[in-house]
Every structure is written in C-alpha cells, then in structure tokens.
Chain A
C-alpha cells in the first residue's frame, strides 16, 4: 500500500529541506525530500505526493528538465519552483514550463506557507480523485485572454492597454479574502513581479505575479468596497489594473492563450 505524502521537497541544500520540513511540521503536513531530481522522479514513481517543491539549480537534472520530465510522464502533481538564482527570467520560464508557482529564495515563513496552502488547495480543486469532498468546479478564463501560469490573466484591449486580473482557480485557492493591497498608479512593473497583495482572513498574504510588464494607469478600487465581485466575476468586473504594456509582443510568447484550455 502506497503511503501518501503531502509534499516532496527536491533541493540539493540540506538547510532548505530542513527549513521547509520544520515549517510544514507546524501544519502537520507529511513531508518527504530528495537531494536531486533523479531521486525525486524515483520517489514519485513509488509514492504519491500532493505537491512538489523543486529547486532550479541542482547537480544533474535541473528544475526545468524536471518539469519537462513530469509533463512527459503525465504526472499531474503541481510543482512549486524555488531558486536562489531568482531572476525574472527564471520565474517566467518556470511558470511557462508548467510550474504552478514560483517562490524566490530566501523566503519567510509566511511566504512559503501561503504558497504551499494555495497549491494544496489547487490540487484538491483540480484532482477529482482526491478524497476530499469539497471539490468545486471552476470557471476557465475567456478564450481571448492569456495567462501566466495558472494565476494571472491579461485581456488586450483595443486601445493598446490591457486589463489584468486573477483567474477563477487562483481566487478559489485563497481562503476568505479580506482585503487587497494595490500598487499605486503610474508604477512600472515587470513581468513576474508582485502585482497585488491579496490578504486572507487569517492574515495570509498572497502575491499575484504580473503576466506582463508595463505602467499601471488605472486600478479597480471598486473591489475594495465590494470584495465579492472578485469571486463572482473574476474575468470582467473583478479586474485589478489597466496597464500600458511596454513589450507585449515579446512577453506574449511566455503566456498561455486561454483558448488552449478548452
């Protein structure tokens, strides 16, 4: 009989494994670890894991190759990529290559916990075979939209600006949204940089990474007064910002068209 773990940590640094284990221990997650990607693949074939946290730079197979291998083997376990070499390129590439989330090292207790919680929730939401009973259907994003990873959508508007927001599945992975912390208008952001802080009832701070680079020209502050809009209509009334993109064409190549979701 296969033993089920919640999390598999793949990292060549013992201190990172220990840290994550320690934190996960608080929430009673069952944690396993592997010191390189090959061992991790062996373990995956033997055991079942709900999510995987994987480093990029490792001896032998690196994080991206690991993601490809997971995809090739049709393993649907969500992967969180983490890296000490935390450049924007690595973040975008991870999300584009199929990682559910990217978390740069070093991270705080709160940061890693919020990512883990979200991913476990995602796993439960998308995996019908999960023994949890609260499986919820989610609304896929409209066909003309594009998304970075599974979390952030953009909708190119005819005047050259784009609307940006969070996908329904991302919203559903968050528990009881309490408030939002916007960036100021006129701020210039880069692709895969934190776009908005979504704070849950329990104080967990969730970061949404921007799908594109550009300058924020308008923020949807209506959400502050009626936070339920976000859950009711995440793709239309629930937009966060209007942005003037500065290199949309290039960045589009790293986005997934939502039409491919159907």
Chain B
C-alpha cells in the first residue's frame, strides 16, 4: 500500500487548493486592477483635458485684444510667459496657411506645418477642412516618437470677427471664417508616471496576496486535512496488518473527525464480529474434541482411580503408603473434575428451552452470590426493565451464564469493595446481518446448504456458477445481508453470470425480476417455509432481499448488561477471553467459565460483547433474541 509521503507533491490536496485559490485570486485582482487603472486614467485625462481647454480658451481670450490691435510683440511676449510652466510643452499660433506665427519655441517661428501635422489633423483629416471644431475633438493625445512621453494637444481655432476685417490694419479679408489656430501641447508625463506607479503597486499586491493565501491555505490544509488524513492512513495500514485494536485518537469534529469516529466504530464492530466468528468455529471443533478427549481420558482414569482407591483401602495399616496413595487418589479425582468441566463446556445438546423471565433468572443468580456481595462490600445496583417479554431459553444455562459473569465481576472487584450494575432492556436490531439462513433449496427441492464450506462458522449456500464459459462454484454467505460470499472462479467486472443448482443444474436466475439497484439479473432461492431469498447476481452489487424476514421488521432482543467497577481486562486479553483454559485467576479458576458462557449464548443464537477499561471496570453485554 502506498504511504502518505509517497503521494506526488502535485497530487496533494494542499497544493491543488493553493493553485486553484491563487489562480482565482490572480484573476480577480487582475480584472479589478484593469478596470481600476482604466477609470483612473480616464478621470485623470478628463481632468487634464478640461484644464487644457480652459488654458487654451484663457490664452486665446487674453490675446484677443492684442490681436485686434495687431500688437505682435505683445502676443509673442504673452505666449513665452505662458510657456514657462513646465507642464506646458509649447504654445503656438498658426495662420491659415500653416505657418507658425507665434511659438514658445522662437526657432519654430516661420516654419510651415503640413496639413498632416498633429496640430492640423483634427480639422484637415477630411479633404475639405472643417470650420467648426467641437470642444471634444479639439484635444488629441500623441507621441512625437514611440519612446517619448505622451502629449496632449489642444487646437483652438481663431475665428474671423467683424472687427478683424474692419479694423485699421485690414489684415484679414471679410469672407474668411477661420483666421488661424491656437495650438497648446501639454506633457502627460506626470500622469503617466502616476499610472505606472499604480500598476507596479497592483502587481506587488497580487504577488503578496498569492503568497499569503498559499501560506494560509497550506497551514490550514496541513492542520485540517494532512494530519487527520495521515492518522487515518496510519489506522488503515494498522488494520490491514491485522491490528484490530487500533483506535484513531480524537481528530476534531469536522467531516474527517466524524470519518475517524465512524472508522473506529467500524473497526470495533469488525473486531467483535471477527471474535464471534472465530469463537463460533473454535467452540464447535473444541466441543467435539473435548467430548472425544473426555471419553478417552476417563477410561484410563477409571483404571488409575479404582486401583489406587482400592490400594488405599488395603493400606490401612501402612500410614506412609496411605499418605502417598491419598495423593494419587486426590489428584485423580482432580483430573476427573477437570474433565467434567471440559464436558460441561462441550455439552452439545440443544438447550432445554422454555419461555423464561430473564429478570427472574437474574434475581435467582443474585441470591446465590448475595453473601459474596456482602462480604466483598459490593454495592449492587439493578435496573431491570419490568416490561421485558419472556425469552425462549434454557433457564439453567442462562442462570449459569449470569452466575459465571457475576462471580467474575466479584473476583474482578477484589476485596476493596466496589459497585456492580445489572441492567436489562429491550433493543431492536435489523434482520440484515443478524439472521441465519439455515435451509435453502432449488425449485426442484434439492438442498443447497453445504456443510463442508462454512462462512462465519455456519454452513454456506452452495451454487454452481457459470460466467463467460467459466464454470465453478460459489458459496453464498448464510447470514442474510452480510455478503461475505466466496467465489470459486474469477469473475470479470460486469460479466454476466448464471447460477444453477449443483444437483440438477436448474437455473436459479429469476427472469421476471430485475435488481432494483443496478437493473441486473436476480437469483431466487427457496427458503422452505420462509419464502424466498433474492439477491443481485452481479458481482459488485450487494443487494439482497428476504421478504419473509424483512416483513417481520427489526428483530427484538433482550439485552442484559453486567457492569463492574473492577480491575478491568487488558486489551490484549479481550480476544482470548472466551477461549477455553484462558484464565487469569491462576489456581482459582479452570479457565472454562467464560468459554461456557460463550457456548451457551451461542446455543441460544445470542451474542455477547465485552467492553473493558483497565482500572475502571468491565461491562458484559448479552443479547438474546425474542422467539
């Protein structure tokens, strides 16, 4: 399995998130800045344009009188004075023919301008010159050559007036409309500088934002995703290696935290189920073994015990020998008790069941240990549910279970005193995963239950399977809804399969039914007296339906919890707890108590779980099915 650190750097969630968020941030900042700078540019240019027009109009007006009087030196003087302002590049007046008459640059005076020159272009773009020029069109922005700063030019036509043609100088004919042009150029250098500064600022803002976002996201991803994910992966690896006791420490309340909690829960359930399954198998084979061993050992023991006890009788006048023989008799008797214990444990007989009151049995078991509770200074608290229905069970065996558990609890509490809680209540559990399919036949009534192959300790349902020309066997999980099927042949994904009775080869696929989940084919197996079991015949689909059982709804169980405040059981011992001959009591116990408990509960189709915390106590929870 791939470790967390082996995930390529580019495949990590953190980096992906950082790239995605940074990209978004860059786009947002870019678009925002574009419009921001553009509007800034427009506002600034508008302001300059307004200012330039005003200036141009002021210059024209201030020179009107001088022009009427034809005071040429005065006009030139005024223009030169205005041109001192550093933002004003030049001011010049052209006559109708394009000759520069006045200019801030004295050297230009007398030069002729082409109609294509910037100052003339506004009016002379068309072949026929315009006579009126609206204020908006008077300004233009241009560069003298590509590297120079931008310049704004304003042309302001000087119109003919009556007094121009009627004045003494008679300088202008009456029919001319435009006498010349006032051309003012303003350098946009400062505005451009400001815009460039803004652009640089935006660029740095974007860079810093992206870096900061990267770090912040990186930090939180590490904290909220990386660390929990690492923990989860470590846990799955531990579980894959077989450590079903691994518990993920609390990693918060977010989705991953819940995932971790549900993971812990899953592993706990898995562990419990595994324990029950392993135990179920072990008990069954151990039971047979024990019966065989007991029988075999008891015969030779008969020889030892009869001869030694007989010798003991004859050795009445030999105290030394009597003493030795006594040891043999005593120890043989002890062996007899051990074998008897083994037999009690292995009792394979079906329990003698009748309708019993669980609460009554508990009370009876309590009276038996009452004295021990008193001597042990144990505070007994019972919360028995009065509404409990009767359970079909072997009263004796169930009482034995409670007695064993109570005695264990008393031993666990020791001499220091403590408390013992016994609680009964009614719980509901779904039939799925809790109901055994004990018999199954094909439509021709051939048995499909196969004792040679067990799943979860129970004989499986054995069918013939054909897929793409391959033929073999499949063993269906006999626990309804558990789907731990065993496939005897390899199946390609999405391949079509057919299921047949191994005896008569009749098809078990029901052509009238379709899987409600994937639409695939459905197998239908007859459960004698209990309707039909249907399931999806597609490899990957887990759909199963057993209407007869589903109709009954959730099954009811009587739950009995016996909880002590004793020393607790170390985690590593929990799995061995129900194994025969596992004992922590040394000489005191045979190590069969809990194995017997387990066997009895299993015989009643019930289940038993343990929860224990070292130093705090242990709780045994037993669930017995109603009816």
Tell me whether B302 and A16 are in contact (CB under 8 A). Answer: yes
Tell me the bound Cα distance from A186 to B349 in angstroms. 27
Q: Among the listed B295, B306, B352, which residue makes an inter-chain contact with A19, where contact means beta carbons less than 8 Å apart? A: B306
Tell me whether B347 and A87 are in contact (CB under 8 A). Answer: yes
Tell me whether B354 and A107 are in contact (CB under 8 A). Answer: no
Residue A26 at the chain B interface, CB threshold 8 Å? yes
Tell me whether A105 and B301 are in contact (CB under 8 A). Answer: yes
Residue A201 at the chain B interface, CB threshold 8 Å? no
- The interface size of chain B toward A, counting residues with CB under 8 Å, comes to 37
B window 539-587: CB within 8 A of A = none
A window 80-122: CB within 8 A of B = 83-87, 89, 104-110, 112
B window 316-354: CB within 8 A of A = 329, 332-333, 336, 340, 343-344, 347, 349, 352, 354
Q: Among the listed A19, A215, A250, which residue makes an inter-chain contact with B303, where contact means beta carbons less than 8 Å apart? A: A19
B window 286-308: CB within 8 A of A = 291, 294-307
Tell me whether A85 and B396 are in contact (CB under 8 A). Answer: no
Tell me whether A247 and B368 are in contact (CB under 8 A). Answer: no
Q: Among the listed A106, A186, A190, A249, which residue makes an inter-chain contact with B302, where contact means beta carbons less than 8 Å apart? A: A106
Contact with A along B388-411 (1 / 0, CB 8 A): 000000111001000000000000
Tell me the bound Cα distance from A193 to B14 in angstroms. 73
Name the A residues within 8 Å of B291 (CB-CB). Answer: 85
Contact with A along B570-611 (1 / 0, CB 8 A): 000000000000000000000000000000000000000000
Tell me the bound Cα distance from A111 to B168 in angstroms. 168
Tell me whether B349 and A89 are in contact (CB under 8 A). Answer: yes
Residue A30 at the chain B interface, CB threshold 8 Å? no
Name the A residues within 8 Å of B303 (CB-CB). Answer: 15-16, 18-19, 106
Cβ of B289 to closest chain A Cβ, rounded Å: 13
Q: Among the listed B299, B309, B349, B352, which residue makes an inter-chain contact with A247, where contact means beta carbons less than 8 Å apart? A: B352
Considering the complex, give the chain B residue whose CB is closest to the CB of A88.
B347
Tell me whether B299 and A84 are in contact (CB under 8 A). Answer: yes
Cβ of A17 to closest chain B Cβ, rounded Å: 10
Residue A39 at the chain B interface, CB threshold 8 Å? no
A window 11-26: CB within 8 A of B = 13, 15-16, 18-20, 22-23, 26
Considering the complex, give the chain A residue whose CB is closest to the CB of B304.
A106
Residue A219 at the chain B interface, CB threshold 8 Å? no
Residue A188 at the chain B interface, CB threshold 8 Å? yes
Tell me whether A84 and B296 are in contact (CB under 8 A). Answer: yes
User: Which 5 pairs of residues, A with B, have the shortest CB-CB distance?
Assistant: A84-B298, A19-B306, A109-B309, A106-B301, A15-B303
26 contacts between A and B (CB under 8 A): A16-B299, A18-B303, A19-B303, A22-B306, A23-B306, A23-B310, A83-B295, A84-B294, A84-B296, A84-B297, A86-B298, A86-B340, A87-B343, A87-B347, A106-B301, A106-B306, A107-B305, A108-B306, A108-B309, A109-B306, A112-B306, A186-B368, A246-B399, A247-B354, A249-B354, A250-B352
B residues adjacent to A (C-beta < 8 A): 291, 294-307, 309-310, 312-313, 329, 332-333, 336, 340, 343-344, 347, 349, 352, 354, 364, 367-368, 394-396, 399
Given A106-B305, A109-B310, 9 other A-B contacts at CB below 8 A? A13-B302, A15-B299, A84-B297, A84-B298, A84-B302, A86-B298, A86-B343, A247-B394, A247-B395
A residues adjacent to B (C-beta < 8 A): 13, 15-16, 18-20, 22-23, 26, 57, 83-87, 89, 104-110, 112, 186, 188, 190, 213, 215, 246-247, 249-251
